[in-house]
Structure 1
Amino acid sequence: MNSKLTILAASLTLILGCNNANVANEEQQSVTQSESAEQLVKRAKAIHERVIVLDTHNDFSDANFVEDKNYTMRLKSQVNLPKMEEGGLDVSWLIVYTGQGELNEAGYAKAYASAMKKFESIHRLTEEIAPDQIELALTSDDVRRIIKSGKKVAMIGVENGYPIGEDISNVKKFYDLGARYMSLAHNGHSQLSDSNTGDKDQQWLHNGLSDLGREAIKEMNKWGIMIDISHPSKMANMEMMRLSKAPVIASHSSSRAMNNHSRNLDDEELLMLKKNGGVVQAVAFQSYLNSQKHDTFLNAAKEVYQQTADKLGLALFDRKLYSTLDEAGKNKMVNDWQTIKEQSQPAIDTLSKTVKQVDVADLVDHIDYMVKLIGVDHVGISSDFDGGGGVLGWNDAAETHNVTIELVKRGYSESDIEKIWSGNLLRVLDDVQRVAKEIQANKT
């Protein structure tokens, strides 16, 4: 048994030790019962190596995209090239993220500068630091070509349209820089769209999209940028799907029926997404998958983390404080938090024996539900790594194979797994780019 197979076997032991109560039906149970663990691992391993494995949402720090500290190294980050290689992750969508700030000229200028720095970091990685290891893809053909060459693939998503300010021409500028999807809001209403936060507090700015947001939809359709409905409000999402001439995506959302969180899509949104021809990328974010299990474990783990933080003289991660810090402060908080987690891991492992964590099975429960509701052609996978994502069994890119093991265990075919990991998302990208060519041709 080679080293990769050994890793997969160990991972399978972990997954099979999880609660099997959510196995979809007796036929799927028989898949596990009729195969030994080693046979299932071998089959999953072969499938994982054959299909294109694509994760639509990986955040990053600019500090990890410089000459002396970058993704060629096995950093503490959940995603980097060594971990992608170890876990068989082929395509990483790197995220140009901007937190929501004030809706004025100063706020837009600051957000634009931040976005430009993110774009520059990605291009530096793929063009200067490691062009022999990872390449930027702009189309599905690029993805297949780059993988065939033996390199990993980077793609670019924009999380929050806030940085375009009130200049709609920035949509084309972001496209030219490599952006192939964009959301119109994050956590907080933007000048373009209401946020999912409105679904929690019932406080709205636009009651969906603003006029500028509607113009942004037209521009994204025109140039071939996929519209991402993961962070906006339900009202905004329904309007976007009605307006868009091309399929949309939810780059990192799960099912609200399975777990009532404003970041998840409810059945009405999912059914409209199916009608639109789009795809929802189920996300490995603990509180979105099972809030009760997450909160129970988190409350138990907080004491462990606090004891470690006190011992090291560090502070725990504070999301509200994080959003107010400059880049250096943010990098320090993230690095401190990663150190605290690493030092706490033995105690957390002990805690896990008595208090259940959100795990890979919970992620695939959401996939199961959405596949049954809208069909396997409209469901994919994302992690939100380095942005808060990660579950037991898939807590960094090195463990990506565990998701395929769970899908095989549930009875998904290789064809289905190929669609879920990448086929559906790349099909939407093709459709969006085809529509863009038609729009441009009609305007000339």
Structure 2
Amino acid sequence: MDEDLPDLVREFYRNNVSAVDLAARMPGHVDIPRLREGRVGGVFWSVYAGCPEHEGYDAGEEFLNGTWRVRDTLEQIDVAKALIRQYPHTFQPAFTSQDIRKAIGSGKIASVMGVEGAHQLGNSLSVLRQYYDLGVRYVTLAHMCHNVFADSCGFLEWLEPLHGGLSEFGYTLVSEMNRIGMLVDLSHTADTTAKQALKHTVAPVIWSHSSARAIWNVPRNVPDDVLELVGIGQNKTDGVVMVNFAPEFVAAEGNATLGGVADHIEHIAKIAGKMHVGLGSDFDGIGGVPRGLEDVSKYPQLFAELYKRGWSRQELAGLSGENLLRVMEGAENVAKQLQDDGVPPAWDIYDKRTDVGQRRIPGKGRWFAGDL
């Protein structure tokens, strides 16, 4: 499950974690009583900072004016960690697939962080690595805006392409994510971005919160020609598409229901296979909800609906988390292999930056930072 509780705390509580009581009814879709009622075993805490232009700022044509989003991401990481620490009997930090299994086995809710847009990297691969060290385990290649790495699909209408998918720097980003074990998240990406990333990555991928375009035709949903590239075997990439509950991505206005969400799950399973679908929800990050899926307490009703449609207990276990854990473990194994093989970190610098590399050691032609 992907949820935006840290962003709700930012918007409603000005990041004051001491004012938040997750043991009581929260204003959004998520709190501890409802998580327990919904029998939730693990969540991705989305440490989200919106696109600069959506926050009233101009990042500039070369994206050099939005690096303060790194600050906001660090604040979101701080909020997520503080909330997890505040309720140690409920939440347990998780950094690996094994950590998640241990947390669930001990009755805790495994808590993993994800960065929902590569604009939050501040154009820097070094920031990517530092996020990983802080516990982040997925990065979405784009949100509702293009960035230096990748094209976004937009929201309900397509964005005019910028790079034609991944930029050259974006290919480097995907490779570096593979090397360190950061999951490549393809939600919000343009179809060209998704296809190029699927071809380039050597590790499994996720869509943290996306539905099926064949069921409801909006840019944010995944088309069949992309779903057909997901799988295990020749010319396919392992992955899991975690279905989004946002009503505008489920059905026409006023028509989003629990059954409609089940339709998206079944379509993705039909095209990519039941091993490649999961639950993303996006609770606390969506304004409305489908009828029957009003908050995190309603998950059992969704599973009951799919059981009635013929899903086996094993298939439902895959949907609830085993599919994601397989993908996560696969990314971990790829990272271990690349590091064991001695693949070095990528030190590429965004070529439009003017704040680095301005001086040289006299007579050496080598870059240095600062005065000798």
- TM-score, with structure 2 as normaliser: 0.84
The counterpart of 2:28, out of the listed 77, 95, 101, is: 77
Aligned to 2:367: none
Alignment of 1:361 onto 2:259: yes
Alignment of 1:147 onto 2:45: no
Alignment of 1:413 onto 2:308: no
Q: Distance in 2 between matches of 1:395 and 1:200?
A: 26
- 1:250 and 1:280 in contact (8 A); partners too: yes
- 1:254 and 1:366 in contact (8 A); partners too: yes
Task: Give the residue type in structure 2 aligned to 1:360.
Answer: L
- 1:255 and 1:264 in contact (8 A); partners too: yes
- 1:125 and 1:131 in contact (8 A); partners too: no
Q: Distance in 2 between matches of 1:230 and 1:174?
A: 19
CA RMSD of aligned residues (A): 1.7
Q: Distance in 1 between matches of 2:115 and 2:5?
A: 10
Alignment of 1:279 onto 2:217: no
Aligned to 2:44: 93
Aligned length: 325
Q: Distance in 2 between matches of 1:67 and 1:89?
A: 24
The counterpart of 2:75, out of the listed 101, 117, 121, is: 117
Deviations 1:1-49 (A, max 9, x none): xxxxxxxxxxxxxxxxxxxxxxxxxxxxxxxxxxxxxxxxxxxxxxxxx
Alignment of 1:56 onto 2:2: yes
Task: Give the residue type in structure 1 aligned to 2:268.
Answer: M
Aligned to 1:160: 117
Aligned to 1:67: 18
SS at match of 1:382: strand
Aligned to 1:377: 275
Deviations 1:389-436 (A, max 9, x none): 631111111222111111111111000000011011110000001000
**Which structure ranks higher in relative contact order (CA pairs < 8 Å, sequence separation ≥ 6)?**
1
Q: Distance in 1 between matches of 2:159 and 2:26?
A: 41
Q: Distance in 2 between matches of 1:207 and 1:198?
A: 17
- 1:91 and 1:153 in contact (8 A); partners too: yes
Q: Which moved more, 1:247-256 or 1:163-172?
A: 163-172
How far residue 106 of structure 1 moved from its aligned partner, in angstroms, is 3.3
**Superposition pairs of residues 24-423 of structure 1, within 5 angstroms:** 55-60=1-6, 61=8, 62=10, 63=13, 66-101=17-52, 102-103=59-60, 104-108=63-67, 110-127=68-85, 129-197=86-154, 200-201=157-158, 203-274=160-231, 275-291=236-252, 294=253, 297=254, 357-388=255-286, 390-423=289-322
Q: Distance in 1 between matches of 2:150 and 2:106?
A: 40
Unmatched runs of 5 consecutive residues or more in structure 1: 1-54, 298-356
Deviations 1:83-109 (A, max 9, x none): 10122112121101121121544311x
Deviations 1:224-256 (A, max 9, x none): 111111111001111111110011111111111
- 2:250 and 2:261 in contact (8 A); partners too: yes
Q: Distance in 1 between matches of 2:90 and 2:118?
A: 30
How far residue 65 of structure 1 moved from its aligned partner, in angstroms, is 6.1
* CA 417–197 in structure 1, closer or farther in 2 if over 3 Å, else same: same
- 2:4 and 2:48 in contact (8 A); partners too: no
Unmatched runs of 5 consecutive residues or more in structure 2: 53-58, 344-372
How far residue 286 of structure 1 moved from its aligned partner, in angstroms, is 1.1
Q: Distance in 1 between matches of 2:112 and 2:192?
A: 28
- Which structure's residues are more often helix, by fraction? 1
The counterpart of 1:426, out of the listed 312, 325, 328, is: 325
Deviations 1:283-324 (A, max 9, x none): 112111112xx2xx3xxxxxxxxxxxxxxxxxxxxxxxxxxx
How far residue 114 of structure 1 moved from its aligned partner, in angstroms, is 0.6
Q: Distance in 2 between matches of 1:116 and 1:202?
A: 28
- 1:134 and 1:153 in contact (8 A); partners too: yes
SS at match of 1:155: strand
SS at match of 1:282: strand
* CA 65–267 in structure 1, closer or farther in 2 if over 3 Å, else same: farther
Q: Give the fraction of aligned pairs with identical amino acids, expressed as a percent.
A: 31
Task: Give the residue type in structure 1 aligned to 2:119.
Answer: Y
Aligned to 2:363: none
Task: Give the residue type in structure 1 aligned to 2:163.
Answer: H
- 2:41 and 2:110 in contact (8 A); partners too: yes
Deviations 1:152-198 (A, max 9, x none): 22111110011212221111111111111111111111111111029
SS at match of 2:47: strand
